[in-house]
Structure 1
Amino acid sequence: MTDPTTLDDFYRSPTLDFNPHPGEILRRRAVATPRLRGANCAWQLVYATRTGRRAPIPASGIVITPENAELAGPSPILLYCPIFHGLGGRCAPSQLLAGEGTDPEAGFIAIALERGWTVAAPDGLGLGMTGLGPHHFLAGSAAAHAVLDLARAVRALPELDAAQAPCVAWGYADGGRAAIWAAEQQPQYAPELDLRGVAAGAVVADPGALIGEIDGGAWAGLALAGLIGLGRAYPHLPMRHLLTDEGHETIERAQELDAAELLVTYRNTPLARWCERDDPWDDPMWRYALANETSGRHAPQVPVHLYHGTEDTLVPVAMGRHLFAEYRTLGVDLSWLEYTTSHSGAAADGAAEAVARLANYLLRRPAATGPTSPSPQTT
């Protein structure tokens, strides 16, 4: 089993009895990223943020400056929202990108660095920090707060001239979900940020629908991770009241695993195996939580680029099309591209266009509402 601690005092949770401001830097240190193309200086940060219930909590992340900044003035900030890395263990992006480690999304981050952008990647609530897990997987507000408060921390980082820097957000799958939620919540939660736009692929816009699709199949480990992550994010509700004794033991083991271990260990295993009813998601508590986690209920005030693979067997393309339609109804300045490829294929094929869209967004301040969106395109 993966050790849930980092054995690194830097990541030990500080006490927040002084109620720090969201985005306040609690701890920072310079780190090397020798295997990350285009990187210059980098820092691991521990910063103050808020849970979905607005309780103060520390979170970790990494900030990486570009080797060649080509633009005059402060370097734009890319808030890079990582895919799901796991519920625990040494799998946080800020740990994997530092030293001799690697991260599965290092290539995407390198594209942004080569543009001359500073990249800030949050680990997400409960991941990276010792003793605060498991990761709040699929909790939209928690993810948004981690993203937006990291942007605040970057603006305050004394080594950077970033107090007035514009920012954009980019993510795929669960990372796309975090980017979208950050855009939806930014006007109320962090209005001082100069957010210019968002690119998000294969967005997990409706966790309830997704969990129903993958439960008991090849991706069943992610369904279990969703139960654990949302249960952690809603501590005021009895989210685990449906579990059997075996179910409680399973969760204790699973909440320390990374994504790969979850997928291998719980492949083709339905959640009903550990619950007292065959359809645990039909419980009133879970219906409430899942309904509260749908995207598209608030209009981002910045341009949004969505993309998806038509052959995606993890996050169905219909979910992305539905989010596109919801945003179009809300008058969001919107674009959409479909790629005739798989989940991982669309992540790779859509990256260049996503970065190009973000570069264009950085050149203009968005209006409060955008024009009518075009029809979906396929490539």
Structure 2
Amino acid sequence: MNLDPFYGAPDGFESAAPGTVLRTREVQLAVLTVLPVHVRSWQLLYRTTDLFGQPTVAVTTVAVPEGADTSHSRPLVSHQFFYDSTSPACAPSYVLQQGGGLPALEGIHSATEYLELAASISQGYAVNVPDYEGVHGHLAVAEEPGYMILDSVRAAESFAPLGLDGANTPVALWGYSGGGMGSGWAAEMQPGYAPELNIKGVALGAPVSDVESLLHVNGSMFASLIGVGIASLRNAYPKFAATTERYLT
């Protein structure tokens, strides 16, 4: 669990509608948590839904170009980072902000993803970077990433400093690896869960549609993903945990 009190769910949050912003703070974004990025940026704690359909909270990082005229609406690009980790300290909201995160572990991924953010920012778009694994670091679970991504878009659209046009805002989803999986869930679930959102397009890179297919990395430099995936599924699903307790040492 995160120790930062910003991530804690406030009392009574369950009664709020999905996507409701519960807490905000302005942050300084930085490449490798050190080199400042010249954007206006905030983090939003919002109400969302977990993999069992129960109320929970998540955090997203939102930004607009520095000096942007927010009196005029702009498109929103939701970037789902490839943070394939069960540690909340590896979440985008940690590794994007100056002085936060684990640069030794997550520096390559955050620096690479900043290139994608720069491409969106250079077009004048607003960007949304949700912690779609939630506060518990759920990797490769079903449905939950879709809820958290769609609700992060709702939260961003309602956050006045971004100057967006609410549900009329044109939205694109962009993700690679775990981010591709999350973006895929969001695209599949949007018509039923968040039909009001104006999703214009989705770009998925290396989404894993069959989690069992990840087992082919056994014996390679990526073999640790198997352990990470098992750990995540064990934390998320009680029946999976019981099975691993029975068969694994």
Shift in CA distance, 89/51, structure 1 to aligned 2, threshold 3 Å: closer
Counterpart secondary structure, 1:90 = helix
> 1:1-379 counterparts in 2 under 5 A?
5=2, 7-16=3-12, 18-35=14-31, 39-67=38-66, 73-100=72-99, 103-104=110-111, 105-126=113-134, 129=135, 133=136, 135-162=137-164, 163=166, 164-210=168-214, 212-235=215-238, 238-244=239-245, 275=248
CA RMSD of aligned residues (A): 2.5
8 Å CA contact 2:22, 2:46 repeated in 1: yes
Shift in CA distance, 116/174, structure 1 to aligned 2, threshold 3 Å: same
Shift in CA distance, 143/160, structure 1 to aligned 2, threshold 3 Å: same
Shift in CA distance, 148/39, structure 1 to aligned 2, threshold 3 Å: farther
Q: Deviations over 1:130-184 (max 9, x none)?
A: xxx2x11011411111110000001111223211311000011111111111111
8 Å CA contact 2:29, 2:37 repeated in 1: no
8 Å CA contact 1:169, 1:197 repeated in 2: yes
Shift in CA distance, 160/32, structure 1 to aligned 2, threshold 3 Å: same
Q: For the residues of structure 2 that align with 1:39 and 1:85, how far apart are their CA atoms? A: 27
Q: Which has the larger radius of gyration?
A: 1
Counterpart secondary structure, 2:90 = coil
Shift in CA distance, 86/67, structure 1 to aligned 2, threshold 3 Å: same
Structure ranking higher in helix proportion? 2
Task: Give the letter aligned to residue 158 of structure 1.
Answer: A
Q: For the residues of structure 1 that align with 2:49 and 2:38, how far apart are their CA atoms? A: 29
Aligned to 2:104: none
Q: Deviations over 1:97-120 (max 9, x none)?
A: 112456231121111111111110
Bigger relative CO (Cα 8 Å, ≥ 6 apart): 2
Shift in CA distance, 159/68, structure 1 to aligned 2, threshold 3 Å: closer
Q: For the residues of structure 2 that align with 1:172 and 1:51, how far apart are their CA atoms? A: 22
Instruction: Give structure 2 stretches of 5+ with no counterpart.
Output: 101-106
Q: For the residues of structure 2 that align with 1:169 and 1:231, how far apart are their CA atoms? A: 28
Counterpart secondary structure, 2:74 = coil
Q: For the residues of structure 2 that align with 1:208 and 1:166, how far apart are their CA atoms? A: 35
Task: Give the letter aligned to residue 7 of structure 2.
Answer: Y
Q: For the residues of structure 2 that align with 1:68 and 1:109, how far apart are their CA atoms? A: 17
8 Å CA contact 1:20, 1:56 repeated in 2: no
8 Å CA contact 1:61, 1:94 repeated in 2: yes
Q: For the residues of structure 1 that align with 2:226 and 2:116, how far apart are their CA atoms? A: 26
8 Å CA contact 2:14, 2:55 repeated in 1: no
Task: Give the letter aligned to residue 10 of structure 2.
Answer: P
TM-score under structure 2 length normalisation: 0.84
Task: Give the letter aligned to residue 202 of structure 1.
Answer: A
* Aligned residues with identical type, % of pairs: 32
8 Å CA contact 1:81, 1:170 repeated in 2: yes
Cα deviation, residue 241, structure 1: 2.0
